[in-house]
Amino acid sequence: QVQLMESGGGLVQAGGSLRLSCAASGRTFGNYGMGWFRQGPGKEREFVATTSRSGTSTYYADSAKGRFTISRDNAKNTVDLLMNSLKPEDTAVYYCAATTSVVMYTTPHQYRYWGQGTQVPVSS
C-alpha cells in the first residue's frame, strides 16, 4: 500500500505557472506508475498526465500537451506536475494517483491509490 499527499495548489492568474507535488509513503515508490488527474466544478474526474515506474515514459491529455510536464524522483518518492500557461478552464482539484500496473492508463478506475487532492483556481 502507498499513501499519497499532494501540495502546491493555490490561486494563480491566467498565464501563470504552478508546480504541484505529490509525496508518497509506504511500499517501494518505484513499483508504481503515477498519474495526475483533475476534477473541475460540476465535471467528472479526468486524466491529465501519467509517468511510468522509472519515469522514462510519459503521456499527456491533449489539454495538457505542451503546457504541463510530469516528472518523478524515485529517490525522493515524489511526482511533480509543472503547469505553465494556465487557463481558467484548468481550474480544478488536482489529484495524484498510483497504479501497480505497468500499463500507462488514462482512466481513473485503473488507479488504486489516491491522494486527497489540491485545489487550483485559475483567475481570468
Average pLDDT over residues 94-111: 94
Type of residue found at 4: L
Q: Using a pLDDT cut of 70, give the percent of the chain over it.
A: 99
Residue 8's CB: how many other CB atoms inside 10 A? 16
Q: What's the rounded Cα separation, in Å, for the pair 59 and 42?
A: 25
pLDDT confidence tier of residue 52, bands split at 50, 70 and 90: very high
Indicate if the pLDDT at residue 98 is higher than 80.
yes
42 and 91 Cβ atoms separated by less than 8 Å: no
The mean pLDDT value of the chain amounts to 96
Residue 82 has phi, psi (to 5 degrees) of -90, 125
pLDDT tens profile 63-74? 999 999 999 999
Residue with cell 483533475: 38
Q: What's the rounded Cα separation, in Å, for the pair 112 and 13?
A: 33
pLDDT tens profile 9-50? 999 999 999 999 999 997 789 999 999 999 999 999 999 999
pLDDT of residue 26: 75
Q: What's the rounded Cα separation, in Å, for the pair 47 and 38?
A: 7
pLDDT of residue 2: 93
The residue among 66, 96, 83, 95 whose CA lies nearest residue 122 is 83
Half-sphere exposure of 77 (CA within 13 A, CB side): 12
